[in-house]
Structure 1
Amino acid sequence: MRSNRIRTTVIAATALLAALSLTACSGDNGSTSDNGKAGAFAPAANSAAKQSQPPAAAPEKDATATDTGTQNTGMQNSGTRNGGTQNSGSGTRTNTAPPATNGGKGAAGSVEQASKTTNSKPVTCTGSNTKTAVSKVSRPINHLLLTVTNTGSRTCYAHYAPKLRFDDAQAVFPILDDSQPQAVVTLNPGQSAYAAIGLTGEPGSGPAPRKGNHLQVNFAGKNNVGSTGAPAELTLPANTYWDDNGFVTYWQTEMADALQY
């Protein structure tokens, strides 16, 4: 009877040990499940690790593609080389160049004309290459002003003094030697020279003044012998009176220099 109890006890102990063994096996399988869960998170960790790594190959390819696009699209095709800088530059040069026909001939003609004007030798001022005018002045009294302007294309010399004849006078009007300038008056085209005419001398020093209507202006040559070229024929201002004691000055470059006498 006692042996049966012991046997029963041993059997119960054996059964308990078997149950404990089964429980231990179940714990190993649970670890596997945990490892599975860990395995499920492992790709996330690996993925994070991969994402945290700098993208080496792909960005370089993108950058290369961008550079290539910039070179092909921007520099070559769009314009920097083919479309822009070279073609635009060529266009600018073409537009700024003078016309091959009219512009070139015009410029050459202008240069040739300027060269002829510059290189031409000066001539003597005469009635044919000048315009002469006579006018009254308020000061000094009893004075007229002669103005001669070069209307030609060449420089001319106004030599000495104008040689005047009033109306039908036989003698040339007296010239005031004290008014002689230091150099010959030179007139470029468009420039003017001046001479003053003192109409009368001291009162009572000669014949009574007579009324004048016409004035002939003759021009002196380089040697001052007689006159040269065509004279200028002028109508005198109204109520002009002159006598034989008057005078005319030498040609002056300034009006004030002429009217000081």
Structure 2
Amino acid sequence: MSHSTAFLARRAQTVRSVAAGLTILAAGLTLTACNNDGTGAKSSGKAESSATVPADQGADAGARGGGGDKGTGGNGGAKGGAQGSGTGGAQDTTEKAGKNGSAAKQNAGGTGSNGAQEIGTCDVNKAAVSVQSVNRPVNHLLLKFTNRAGVDCNVPYYPILRFDNAQAATPAFEDSKPQAVVTLAPGESAYAGIATSSADGSGEGGAKSSNLEVFLKGLDSSTTVKLPGDGVYVDSSAKVTYWQRSAADALTW
């Protein structure tokens, strides 16, 4: 083979080698392009759907506020969880408070309407009862009744009085009837005026009495008080007023 022929043969071999190298390079570039999405992140070649993500990973992603597209999915999960728990908790608390309030209201209503006890008649055995003479009007006594019980009570109508061993009770002076029954709180007093005899001497069957037995109308129990001085003259004209709230009202006839 001549010198020129050998040179051409080597040149052709070099060209073929270069061409083969370019082919290999092109194949490599093509493979790289297929495995790269252009963002610098290598693709596995298999799309992962949210359905294939384990539930615990999804919960962790939601709690961290991440895991979604640009982080919004995670934030949405966290926000949704917060709203779900917060709103639900607030609603549950509100409902409980409402129920408790209704129960308290019902209990309060029961106490006010059904729980309130009706005020009863005073007990003479739980009271301080006294009688005293007065200058005006003449021939009068003032009866005082003080509630010593721990609760409110009523003194109904007028006191039932019996001087010493008199067979009949002293009649009431009807014009003294108040507009309402007198109710006494613990420590409060009611008063009644007693006319023992007529000023002009028109009464009959008079006699001196030393003791006065006091009843409350409608009750059998009584208490006995001593009359002022060495006794009080009492005749058929004796009368007693209804219970009054003040001594002045009891002595105004």
| TM-score normalised by L of structure 2 | 0.52
Shift of 1:119: 4.5
* Matching residue within 215, 220, 231 for 2:222: 231
Unaligned runs of 5+ in 1: 1-117, 222-227
Q: Distance in 1 between matches of 2:201 and 2:118?
A: 48
Counterpart AA for 1:159: P
Aligned CA distance change for structure 1 residues 120 and 185 (closer, same or farther; 3 Å): same
Contact 1:196 1:258 in 2 (8 A): yes
Contact 1:164 1:215 in 2 (8 A): yes
Contact 1:124 1:159 in 2 (8 A): yes
Q: Which residue of 2 aligns with 1:126?
A: 123
| TM-score normalised by L of structure 1 | 0.50
CA-to-partner distance for each residue in 1:89-132, whole Å, 9 max, x for gaps?
Answer: xxxxxxxxxxxxxxxxxxxxxxxxxxxxx944322013122111
Contact 2:139 2:198 in 1 (8 A): no
The total of aligned residue pairs comes to 139
Counterpart AA for 1:190: G
Aligned CA distance change for structure 1 residues 136 and 204 (closer, same or farther; 3 Å): closer
Q: Distance in 1 between matches of 2:167 and 2:119?
A: 32
Shift of 1:208: 4.8
In the TM superposition, 1:133-212 aligns within 5 A as 133-212=130-209
Q: Distance in 1 between matches of 2:136 and 2:198?
A: 16
Contact 1:174 1:245 in 2 (8 A): no
Q: Which residue of 1 aligns with 2:88?
A: none
Q: Which residue of 2 aligns with 1:14?
A: none
Q: Distance in 2 between matches of 1:254 and 1:220?
A: 20
CA-to-partner distance for each residue in 1:116-160, whole Å, 9 max, x for gaps?
Answer: xx9443220131221110011111111000000000011110000
Contact 2:155 2:182 in 1 (8 A): yes
Q: Distance in 1 between matches of 2:190 and 2:201?
A: 33
Q: Distance in 2 between matches of 1:245 and 1:188?
A: 33
2:228 is paired with a residue whose SS is strand
Q: Which one has a bigger Cα radius of gyration?
A: 1
Q: Distance in 1 between matches of 2:166 and 2:205?
A: 15
CA-to-partner distance for each residue in 1:207-227, whole Å, 9 max, x for gaps?
Answer: 253111110001013xxxxxx
Q: Distance in 1 between matches of 2:220 and 2:185?
A: 18
Shift of 1:229: 4.3
Q: Distance in 2 between matches of 1:249 and 1:145?
A: 10
1:237 is paired with a residue whose SS is coil
1:164 is paired with a residue whose SS is strand
Q: Distance in 1 between matches of 2:116 and 2:123?
A: 20
Q: Distance in 1 between matches of 2:226 and 2:199?
A: 25
Unaligned runs of 5+ in 2: 1-114
1:178 is paired with a residue whose SS is helix
Q: Distance in 2 between matches of 1:191 and 1:170?
A: 32
Counterpart AA for 2:132: S
The runs of 4+ residues in structure 1 deviating greater than 3 Å are 118-121
Q: Distance in 2 between matches of 1:201 and 1:247?
A: 10
Identity score, percent? 43
Q: Distance in 2 between matches of 1:257 and 1:202?
A: 20
